[in-house]
Homo-oligomer: A and B are copies of this chain.
């Protein structure tokens, strides 16, 4: 099944203890699409400026990603500049230029309208909702969001949550959204807002999967640890790569059983782990499916008793 993703395609300037990269290809939809492309066909809805050319297009095309939904507008692409010099777990933002993204009005190519899987990456919830309504054939809709929308655009975000099957957010966002510091209680409160399933990402410590029908005594459905890496070069895009691996694997399966969701969590962690090993999308551009499955097997060994 093909996935349509709407979100940012951007340029990032990143500094980490391992070095610096200027204006490399980034954006949530980029990481998501590249990660998901190892599992299924992916279609992207985004807007870019005149600085996005053949070289950037080639990155998507090399992975057979459909980019007819990437609109080209006059001006410059979304730009983010940040560093992780003190703390690899938290980006320090130095500059954000919305540029063409500021007036983004998602346009959905007719060819995308049969997508049964839809991922609403972290953008204005008003736009997330509009895309969701324009994709009536989507039977599994997942989304991401961030602290800014949770704090300052709560009513619009709550409308989006009502229409989501799956929400993927991090600890801080889950706690903020629920107003509860206990993760299990926060997860239950978030699920009561609409999504049938919730993935809470814990950065270097893995992620937890909750379903609305998980028995209370069990707490969660699956807790997947992150891969312990001896080299973290650049954490940018780890969460979006997790989402791409997770949702991409779901979309590749004939049936969405609980076991499939559990394996999807592991594939999510695997894709996040590759992304942070190199700068920007460098890992995702060079990866093979064999490497992914090898790491999946190693990941199982690292977490299973026998």
Interface assignment of A62: CB less than 8 Å from any CB of chain B = no
A206 to chain B, nearest CB (A): 6
Q: Is the CB of B220 within 8 A of A305?
A: no
How many residues of chain A get a CB closer than 8 Å to chain B's CBs?
41
Interface assignment of A230: CB less than 8 Å from any CB of chain B = yes
Interface assignment of A229: CB less than 8 Å from any CB of chain B = yes
Q: Is the CB of A304 within 8 A of B302?
A: no
Question: Which of A118-126, A133-141, A258-266 forms contacts with chain B?
Answer: A258-266
Q: Tell me the bound Cα distance from A223 to B300 in angstroms.
A: 10
A37 to chain B, nearest CB (A): 23
Q: Is the CB of B223 within 8 A of A219?
A: no
Q: Is the CB of A305 within 8 A of B259?
A: yes
Q: Is the CB of A303 within 8 A of B303?
A: yes
Which residues of chain A from 208 to 229 have any CB-CB distance to chain B below 8 Å in the complex?
Answer: 208, 216-229
Known: A182-B230, A231-B182, A232-B182. A206 touches B225 (CB 8 A): yes
Q: Is the CB of A262 within 8 A of B223?
A: no
Interface assignment of A158: CB less than 8 Å from any CB of chain B = no
Residues of B within 8 A of A304 (CB): 303-305
Q: How many copies does the complex hold?
A: 2
Pick from B219, B263, B300: contact of A227, CB under 8 Å: B219
Q: Is the CB of B230 within 8 A of A223?
A: no
Residues of B within 8 A of A223 (CB): 206, 225-226, 228, 302-303
Interface assignment of A183: CB less than 8 Å from any CB of chain B = yes
Q: Is the CB of B262 within 8 A of A305?
A: yes
Pick from B181, B182, B205, B218: contact of A205, CB under 8 Å: B205
Interface assignment of A256: CB less than 8 Å from any CB of chain B = no
Interface assignment of A22: CB less than 8 Å from any CB of chain B = no
Interface assignment of A98: CB less than 8 Å from any CB of chain B = no
Residues of B within 8 A of A193 (CB): none
Q: Tell me the bound Cα distance from A206 to B232 in angstroms.
A: 20
Which residues of chain A from 76 to 102 have any CB-CB distance to chain B below 8 Å in the complex?
Answer: 88
Supply 9 A–B pairs (Cβ within 8 Å), ascending by A: A182-B231, A184-B228, A184-B229, A205-B205, A206-B223, A206-B225, A217-B298, A220-B228, A303-B303
A residues near B, CB below 8 A? Answer: 88, 181-185, 188, 202, 204-206, 208, 216-232, 259, 262-263, 266, 298, 300-306
Closest 8 CB pairs of A and B: A205-B205, A184-B230, A219-B228, A223-B225, A220-B228, A184-B228, A225-B225, A262-B305
